[in-house]
A and B are shown apart, each in its own frame.
Chain A
Amino acid sequence: DAEITQSPRHKITETGRQVTLACHQTWNHNNMFWYRQDLGHGLRLIHYSYGVQDTNKGEVSDGYSVSRSNTEDLPLTLESAASSQTSVYFCASGHANTGELFFGEGSRLTVL
C-alpha cells in the first residue's frame, strides 16, 4: 500500500543546532507539503513543492528550508533551531485531481 513516512518521530535538540526532518511518500504525488501544528493555531503551512526542483514558501517559512531532488522526498531543515520551533510537524502529499492531502504520522520536535 502507498504511504507517507516521517522520521524521526521524536527529536530533542538544542537551540542553534541544525535539524532535518525526513518525509518519504510512495503515492507518486507531485505535490508535497510541510505543516506545523501548535495548540491554538491549528495547522500552518511551512513550505510546499509541486514537483522536482520546485519549492515555495508557506505562511510560516522563516527559519525553515526544503529541497526536492526527487518525487518521493521532501526533507525539512531547521538551519538554527529556536525554542519557538518546538512543535509537531506533519508532512503531506496531495492528489492533484481532488486536492485531497494524505498526512504522515508526524514528527514531534522539542528545542531546548
Chain B
Amino acid sequence: ELKVEQNPLFLSMQEGKNYTIYCNYSTTSDRLYWYRQDPGKSLESLFVLLSNGAVKQEGRLMASLDTKARLSTLHITAAVHDLSATYFCAVDNTAYGNKLVFGAGTILRVKS
C-alpha cells in the first residue's frame, strides 16, 4: 500500500528566508505532483514531476524528484507572505491511472 509522508506538517517562517518541504513515499513511482490550497479554496496544481531527476521552478518555488530515494522536495526561496497556504504532495503509482495518494499537507505561514 502506498504511503505518502510530508514534513514538516506546519512551518512558520520569516519573509526572506529559505526553507524546504519534504515528501517521502513508500513504493516505486515516477509520477509526483505538488498542489497548493488556500483556506476554504480548491487545490491548485503547482508542479508535475514525471521522471527521476525532474526539476521544475515557478517563481520562488522549486520542486525536484528523486525516484531512487522516493523523495521529492519543494524548496522555497526568499519567502513572501503570499506563499502562505497548505502544500500537498501526491503520488501516483498506477500506470496512467491518475489515482493519486496525498500526503497530509504542510501548512506554511510566512510572517512579515
The residue on A at minimum CB distance from B92 is: A99
Interface extent on B, as a size class?
Answer: 20 to 34
B49–chain A nearest beta-carbon distance, Å:
10
Question: How long is the Cα–Cα vector from A15 to B69 in the complex, in angstroms?
Answer: 46
Residues in A neighbouring B88, C-beta threshold 8 A: 42-43
Residues in B neighbouring A98, C-beta threshold 8 A: 48, 50
Question: How long is the Cα–Cα vector from A31 to B105 in the complex, in angstroms?
Answer: 24
On whether the beta carbons of B104 and A105 are closer than 8 Å, the reply is no
Residues in B neighbouring A50, C-beta threshold 8 A: 97
Residues in B neighbouring A100, C-beta threshold 8 A: 33, 45, 48, 98
Question: How long is the Cα–Cα vector from A94 to B98 in the complex, in angstroms?
Answer: 6
Question: How long is the Cα–Cα vector from A100 to B33 in the complex, in angstroms?
Answer: 7
Q: What is the interface of chain A mostly: helix, strand, loop, or mixed?
A: strand
On whether the beta carbons of B42 and A106 are closer than 8 Å, the reply is yes
Interface extent on A, as a size class?
Answer: 20 to 34
On whether the beta carbons of B97 and A90 are closer than 8 Å, the reply is no
On whether the beta carbons of B33 and A99 are closer than 8 Å, the reply is yes
Q: Which of B87-112 contact A (CB under 8 A)?
A: 88, 90, 92, 96-105
Question: How long is the Cα–Cα vector from A95 to B33 in the complex, in angstroms?
Answer: 13
B70–chain A nearest beta-carbon distance, Å:
17
Show 13 A/B contacts (Cβ-Cβ < 8 Å), sorted by A.
A42-B103, A43-B88, A43-B102, A99-B33, A99-B48, A99-B97, A99-B98, A100-B33, A100-B45, A100-B98, A102-B45, A103-B35, A103-B43
